[in-house]
Structure 1
Amino acid sequence: MTAYIFEFIGTGMLILLGNGIVANVVLKGTKGSDAGWTGISLAWGIAVFVGVFISGNVSGAHLNPAVSVGLAVAGKFEWALVPGYAIAQILGAMMGNLLVWLTYKKQYDATEDQGALLATFCTAPAIRSPLWNFVTEVIGTFVLVFGVFYIAGGSFSEEPVSLGSLDALPVALLVMGIGFALGGPTGYAINPARDFGPRLLHALLPLKGKGISDWGYAWVPIIGPLVGGSLAAGVFLLLSA
């Protein structure tokens, strides 16, 4: 139970800081509108650092169902724990984005751009092409999970792999690099909980003029990362054979 609680807290901090910078950049009436993509990528790296540092020594700091599934595919995490981790991550993401909304309540009220409002919750493609958006998410998540195996001391032994607080900085740099290099086409969800939980919250919150939650696209940042994480595990197993 303690591990689930820390996955909830760690993911909540991840989304609070990560989508907090998005809100600061895209909403009307903030002081951070000039931060741009550089600010977003840097802040998401910092968000990962904080989330991993807080939860790493207790839950292993997955903060992402794609990481949990990838580790389970590689035999480095118990499949029985995956559903509980995923639920904690989704609920944590919703809580984190709720705090973003509360922080920027007056800016949300002043913003009429429906796309900007949605962007503070979940991802959307720069050019909508579901197949290629899916490929982008697969590649980005492959890089994340494959990197996690080695950052977390993933030798070819039978020992479990989990992130500790000392791994916070390299994982943060990894996510920052993914944002700068691979994030442009889709906004780099690379995390089903990061996208699904806040998207659901967007649908539930009484946002003025919020528009649709774009559920037609939602499968891409859910299935793409799960496939990418599983492929990373498969390559890791091939290399360890």
Structure 2
Amino acid sequence: MPRTVAPVAAVDPAPAPRSRAADRREGSGAPSELIAAAERLFSARGIDGVSLREITREANQRNTTALQYHFGGRDGLLRALVEKHMDTVAVRRAALLDHVEGRTDLTARDGASMLVQPLIAKLTSDDGGPAFLQVAAEMLNRTHRLIDPDEPVGPVIYDALGSLDRWSATFESVMPAGSTGAPLHRRFAVIRFAHIEIGRRARVGPPINVPLFTSQLIDMVAGLLTAELSEETQRLLAERESSDTTGS
């Protein structure tokens, strides 16, 4: 039976035929095309090794100001790239946390798994995930301080669902006293380690034994979460606290 097609309003004069490439260049797909181009170039050559003009050209944007129009510049583009992927990472992590909410028998390996598994999903995704992992690893590796929520890499720590805050609160109890918060900030160090290691593996590319890589990484993250503070570290912390008190 022939399919019924809804009538289309007449347009006068008829528009000239447009190619799909032209629609991508000038239509609503321009932001996603620019993000995809940035993923490819940043992951291949590093964040500082690519000009905005190159990204615009890679995205087939005829308008040379398209990137500035949509993102305001490099920082805005990087943040949009991170948000694109962290949205799905956060959903996965929140679902894992929902599943164990209220349990009192959680282990450090459970915590490591909930940090690592949502990122591992990006390692084999076809939405630019491997490129994102490399870019995020580079951004976290160059950070020598706590991250501000408004900077480009901010959504890695402060995702829209607050999943990483929930993760931190849920598993703080399995960590040694004194290892969370200032001045050690071990949770941040663990988060950075996980991202850098997965980003490194994304750069190596296939083939990859995903189950083995994942299990080994979870083992290492769990070890970092639960590593006891040595007597030397405790002594140095006490000296620091005494010095801070004296100085105040």
Same fold, judged at TM 0.5 (above): no
Which structure carries more relative contact order (alpha carbon 8 Å, separation 6+)? 1
Computing the radius of gyration over CA atoms, which structure comes out larger, 1 or 2? 2
Q: How high is the TM-score relative to the length of structure 2? A: 0.32
Q: How high is the TM-score relative to the length of structure 1? A: 0.33
